[in-house]
Amino acid sequence: MSNRELVILGTASQAPTRSRNHNGYFLRWDDEGLLFDPGEGTQRQMLFAGVTANHVTRICVTHFHGDHCLGLPGVLQRMALDRVAHPVEACYPAQNQEFLERLRHASLFHDTLELHERPVDGDGVVTVAPAFRLEARALSHLVPTVGYRLVEPDGRRMLPRELVGYGISGPDIGRLQRAGRLAVDGRVVTLDQVSEPRRGQRFAFVMDTRLCDAAFELADGADMLVCESTFADADVGLARDYGHLTAGQAGRIAAESGARLLVLTHFSQRYETTAQLSADAAAAFGGEIVVAADLDRIPVPKRVSTQLPGRDPAD
């Protein structure tokens, strides 16, 4: 099991179909589990996908249309039932605070959950975790809507060959990482000499929106971009009227933002297959495209190494 992967819990916009549940996306990111837009039926989809209430550390809601949030009461009550002991953060558009409260208290239950509310008011950093910072941007839909992105801080990758070359091993590696330099046999070795820059990974989640600058900003340099593609390009007028994207527009966002992997989802039930949606996106984006299906598990793409081949540790 990959330690960074997206588990697709549902892919239907507006109304579920026989093969597609309402929205729901679980992002496993090391020790964290982020549940995005839990639509109706999410609790049961989690069961099918092997995601437990205990795995969820944060819940991010883009907006309060039912297909993106009607699963909240069930998920929150299940977390209380299962005695989830860790605090859980809930992020959502601040303008619609009342709906978070209604959904949280939609029916009677013994509420033991420590839920930290993080209303998102404007663009910027929502929360900073050890492994990433979570940012939000306001999107352009019919109601207050925000998109999210996770940004892992850039770091450095240690180079085993260089470490051996300088005779550094064991606890000395940690000392060098912490201090940035280490005295070895009478000379000083710096961190730069035995490591290379490692770009942090990025994940972007762009749901219900028209084309807007914020969608491009969220997707900027994303290793994985999850993007709504409610309509085919032929129905671009409908997309504009209902505040949605076409698959071709999703492809354009991925292409112009330098995204690596585009995950298409949030499909209108008007299409019997996703073939046209896939083709529309591929016409605009030459990178990898996954048309999401319920219960898919999609690994976050591996990092691209920036190490230059054959570098001499004595350089």
> Measured between alpha carbons, how far is 144 from 114 in angstroms, rounded to an integer?
26
Q: Is 266 in the site for Zn ion (CB under 5 A)?
A: no
Q: Between 226 and 265, how does the x/- string for binding to Zn ion read (CB under 5 A)? A: ----------------------------------------
Of the ranges 24-32, 40-48, 61-69, 253-261, which one interacts with Zn ion (CB under 5 A)? 61-69
Q: Choose one: 63-71, 157-165, 211-219, 250-258; the region binding Zn ion (CB under 5 A).
A: 63-71
- Taking the complex as a whole, the smallest distance from the CB of residue 63 to Zn ion amounts, in Å, to 6
Q: Is residue 65 part of the contact set for Zn ion (CB under 5 A)? A: yes
CB 21 to Zn ion: min, Å? 16
Q: How many residues bind Zn ion (CB under 5 A)?
A: 2
As measured in angstroms, the least distance from the Cβ of 64 to Zn ion is 9
Q: Which is nearer to Zn ion, 208 or 223 (CB)?
A: 208
Determine if 40 is a binding residue for Zn ion (CB under 5 A): no
Residue type, 68: H
Among 37, 152, 208, 228, the residue binding Zn ion under the rule CB under 5 A is 208
Nearer to Zn ion, 33 or 147 (CB): 147
Active-site residue list: 67
Give whichever of 32 and 208 is closer to Zn ion, judged by the CB atom: 208
Contact string 153-192 vs Zn ion (x = CB under 5 A): ----------------------------------------
Tell me how far, at minimum, the Cβ of 243 lies from Zn ion, in Å: 7
Give whichever of 69 and 291 is closer to Zn ion, judged by the CB atom. 69
Instruction: Pick between residue 65 and residue 202 the one whose CB is nearest to Zn ion.
Output: 65
Of the pair 208, 233, the CB lying nearest Zn ion is at: 208
Shortest-Cβ-distance residue relative to Zn ion: 65
Burial (CB count <10 Å: 0-12, 13-18, 19+), residue 227 = buried
State the minimum distance, in angstroms, from the CB of residue 141 to Zn ion: 6
**DSSP labels for the chain?**
--SEEEEEEE-BSSS--SS--B-EEEEEETTEEEEE---TTHHHHHHHHT--GGG--EEE-S--SGGGTTTHHHHHHHHHHTT--S-EEEEEEGGGHHHHHHHHTSS-------EEEEEE-SSEEEEEETTEEEEEEE--SSS--EEEEEEPPPEEEE-HHHHHHTT--THHHHHHHHHSEEEETTEEEEGGGGEEEEPPPEEEEE-S--S-HHHHHHHTT-SEEEEE--B-GGGHHHHHHHT--BHHHHHHHHHHHT-SEEEEE-B-TT-S-SHHHHHHHHHH--SEEEE--TT-EEEPPPPPP-PPTT--TT-
CA 32 – CA 34 distance, rounded (Å): 7
Residue 120 Cβ, how far from Zn ion at the closest point, in Å? Answer: 16
Q: List contacts with Zn ion (CB under 5 A).
A: 65, 208
